[in-house]
Amino acid sequence: MLLSHDQAGQKKLPQKNFRYYDLIMAAFVTVLIASNMIGAEKVVTVFGLTFGGGILFFPISYFFNDILTEVYGYARSRKVVWAGFISLFFVMIMAQIILALPPAKGWMYQGAYEIVFGQTPRIVFASLIAFVCGEFTNSYVLAKLKILTNGKHLWTRTIGSTMAGEAVDSVIFYPAAFFGFWSGSLLIQVMIMNYLIKVVWEVVSTPLTYAVVGFLKRAEKEDYFDRETNFTPFSLKI
């Protein structure tokens, strides 16, 4: 298929209509919002292991990001990351506005709402910055490893990109959000344990990743290589 060109002569991705791309985007945004709004602040202990509750589901966003970059390319994955960022930002702003509105007389649940949805601006900022940096690191590493491996050994780039992206996410988010609020030992313990759980989650889900990627490549007739891609994160061009 011929590639289209912009006015500067830069190659652009083929203009194609994909059957499942929008569905994956919707799933990515849903998981992102739910994991950040529901489980970001709660620390749990299960089988003697202490970690943030949201970590059980947040790695699914990396699962979808891996699939998007592997099948559709970095540029289309970049568009989904920005869609997730804008959606998450809107939900957090919406929560703050609704919390700030005076409750009606006799409505008894303001305190509960503040506990559940009252994320501080510090946590909101940390979450947004960590998300963007981590997701773009994940997409970039996967796209580069795909070229390096010539499209072989999918597991090396899904696991490798997740290790890089989740490391960036964790190192930014936990200190930025909780330093001075949690004890230093708890912060380090949760950060390390959450990172390990994310990586293990990616390893365990590798067979599913293979199955979904294989299905999508056949169904969409697409297996994009980012050999001439502009990897700047500050663009929505495809």
Range in 42-56, 103-117, 134-148, 201-215 the model is least confident about: 42-56
Neighbours of 17 (CB within 10 A): 7
Picking from 1-5, 7-11, 90-94, which range would have the lowest pLDDT averaged per residue?
1-5
Q: Is 60 exceeded by the pLDDT of residue 46? A: yes
Cβ neighbours of 198 (radius 10 Å): 23
| Residue-level pLDDT at 11 | 57
Give the mean pLDDT of 63-73: 97
Q: What is the structure's pLDDT at 205?
A: 96
pLDDT band at 9 (very low <50, low <70, confident <90, very high): very low
Global pTM?
Answer: 0.87
pLDDT at 95: 86
Asked whether 119 and 92 are in contact (CB, 8 A), the reply is yes
Enumerate the β-bridge partners of residue 43: 52
* 96: CB partners within 8 A, 6+ apart: 119, 121, 124
pLDDT above 90 for 16: no
- Residue 71: closest CA among 10, 13, 137: 13
The structural domains of the chain, ordered by start, are: 21-220 (1.10.1760)
For 118-139, the pLDDT digits (tens) are: 777 788 888 899 999 999 999 9
At 120, phi and psi to the nearest 5? Answer: -70, 155
